[in-house]
Structure 1
Amino acid sequence: MAETIVHSDPDAVAAAMAGIIAGLSQDAGRERIAIALSGGSTPQRLYRLLASDAYRDSVRWQRLHLFWGDERVVPHDHPDSNTRMVSEALLQHVAIPPENVHLVPTQAGDCERVASLYDEEIRRFYGGSGPEPGRPLFDLVLLGLGGDGHTASLFPASPALADRAHWVAPVPEAGMKPFVPRVTLTFGAIASSREIAFLVTGEDKRDRLGDIRAGRDLPAGQVRSDGRITWHIDTAAAGS
């Protein structure tokens, strides 16, 4: 069952997640920690905090392996690229080994080709053809909530919602701006996680949160996992 934690503001949401990631990196029981990153303004605040003096030296970067929950199929230096945002906010400022940053190969062609290659990359990292019970793919998956109820690039009515054969799916038509092709983790890949953390801030997200609480059939509400699912929201999104 999902847990909701209400924080005072977006800075408090970012601080809570930064503490969780720092703690994961220091867990002596894990040789490597796999994290799927999210785009958006709230995660960007988190990444900047992790790169700041307050957290940079408390994270064992050499143990982290970073993946992308979704990406726009544009060059990595494009303004719409999640890779560019993460790089500018975080990667350029911390000592993470380059081989631990598993970029989406957006330069490889159309979104179908990109999705296939990234699916292969994740499977190589995992070392198996499918998730095994008791051996999650990710230690932490960061997710957001779109105004239409999407999460990652799993938009309402998208064929990617029904993809059970792959860990990464192409999204030729985005449901919201920017209207560029994308790739996304599927529900199956997201589910193979020890913890899923939704980061949701702002009054404009309040109605969609209400819809999900009411059981409306929206992609973000369809996320499942054998691990923990936590919604980290601020008071503006909570309406309190």
Structure 2
Amino acid sequence: MTTDIRTATLETLPSSEAVALRMADLLVEGVFAKTDGKFRVALSGGSTPKRLFELLAEPELAKRIPWDRIEIFYGDERHVPEGHADSNHTVGQSVLISRVPVPAENVHPIPTGGTVEADARAYQKTLETAYGATELDPARPLFDLVMLGLGTDGHTASLFPGEPVLQEKTAWVGTAAPKTAPYERITLTYPAIQSSALVVFLVTGASKVEMLQRLREGDKTLPSANVTSEGRIVILADRAATGDAA
């Protein structure tokens, strides 16, 4: 049964640090709960995910995690050269991947060396290979966990307001050229995000109060509010984002 944002679970936490810690718990729990095949996770960019990466790379936690059972993907990427400071993979690589024993073949950055359209098609092929099929089966999610953020304009991943990719019904990967943010983008589409056992929104900071409220109300004018999942949707928010900050 498909879950939409109106039936998402909200967890309010004291701080952005607590949000990152809770996300770490959910990821580790998921890895140990999965007994068949690799645990496929789509990582997000942003300050809270970066803190999550730092936590996962801390030696005491990192040594408890079976990294060979984790397969890393990305929810979106800026179409910038490899190693660029604004690349989500650059951050993931430097803060997490280079510091833990995850096998290189388990890491799947979004390519950015060709045209944005060709690189999106290439990432679709990468996902199809990992999934073992070219069509999604609702009973067999593509991702075990998809991490998402929430922009102050209501975007998530690189699903920005007004972008044609919002209308994509079949492809798993699409492109965007947002007018309100730099760089062309490559992003997971709604169908790919829906093919998930768990979607987690990480929402922190007072600037997100209005958008979080509209998200929870299911305001379909927001790209983020149109996210669905074949499994669960959880919103991890700090008190500043819920408007409950002291």
Normalized against structure 1, the TM-score is what?
Answer: 0.96
> What's 2:216 paired with?
213
With over 3 angstroms needed to count, the CA separation of the structure-2 counterparts of 1:163 and 1:51, relative to structure 1, is same
* Code of the aligned partner of 1:83: H
Q: Which secondary structure does the structure 2 equivalent of 1:154 belong to?
A: coil
> What's 1:9 paired with?
15
> What's 2:134 paired with?
129
Q: Deviations over 1:21-69 (max 9, x none)?
A: 1122223523210000100111111011100124111111000000010
Q: Is 1:152 matched up with 2:180?
A: no
Question: What's the CA shift for 1:207?
Answer: 1.0
Q: Deviations over 1:196-239 (max 9, x none)?
A: 00000000111111222333220110001120000000000011
Question: What's the CA shift for 1:150?
Answer: 0.1
- Paired with 2:187 and 2:106, the residues of 1 have a C-alpha distance of 19
Q: Is 1:76 matched up with 2:82?
A: yes
- Paired with 2:167 and 2:34, the residues of 1 have a C-alpha distance of 37
Q: Deviations over 1:126-151 (max 9, x none)?
A: 01111113100000000000110000
Check conservation: 1:150, 1:220, Cα contact below 8 A: yes
Equivalent residue in structure 1 for 2:239, among 231, 235, 239 = 235
Normalized against structure 2, the TM-score is what?
Answer: 0.93
Check conservation: 1:25, 1:61, Cα contact below 8 A: no
- Paired with 2:69 and 2:139, the residues of 1 have a C-alpha distance of 20
- Paired with 2:34 and 2:230, the residues of 1 have a C-alpha distance of 22
Q: Structure 1: give runs of 5+ residues left out of the alignment.
A: none
With over 3 angstroms needed to count, the CA separation of the structure-2 counterparts of 1:59 and 1:215, relative to structure 1, is same
Root-mean-square deviation (CA, aligned residues, Å) is: 1.1
- Paired with 1:54 and 1:6, the residues of 2 have a C-alpha distance of 26
Question: What's the CA shift for 1:176?
Answer: 3.1
> What's 1:32 paired with?
38
With over 3 angstroms needed to count, the CA separation of the structure-2 counterparts of 1:155 and 1:28, relative to structure 1, is closer
- Paired with 1:28 and 1:110, the residues of 2 have a C-alpha distance of 36
Equivalent residue in structure 1 for 2:122, among 117, 121, 136 = 117
Q: Write out aligned runs for 1:174-189 (5 A).
A: 174-177=178-181, 179-189=182-192
Structure with greater contact order relative to length (CA < 8 Å, sep ≥ 6): 2
More displaced stretch, 189-198 vs 123-132: 123-132
- Paired with 2:215 and 2:145, the residues of 1 have a C-alpha distance of 21
- The count of corresponding residues between Structure 1 and Structure 2 is 237
Check conservation: 2:138, 2:230, Cα contact below 8 A: no
With over 3 angstroms needed to count, the CA separation of the structure-2 counterparts of 1:192 and 1:119, relative to structure 1, is same
* Code of the aligned partner of 1:200: V
What percent identity do the matched residue pairs reach? 42
- Paired with 1:106 and 1:163, the residues of 2 have a C-alpha distance of 21
- Paired with 1:130 and 1:175, the residues of 2 have a C-alpha distance of 32
- Paired with 2:195 and 2:31, the residues of 1 have a C-alpha distance of 19
> What's 2:194 paired with?
191
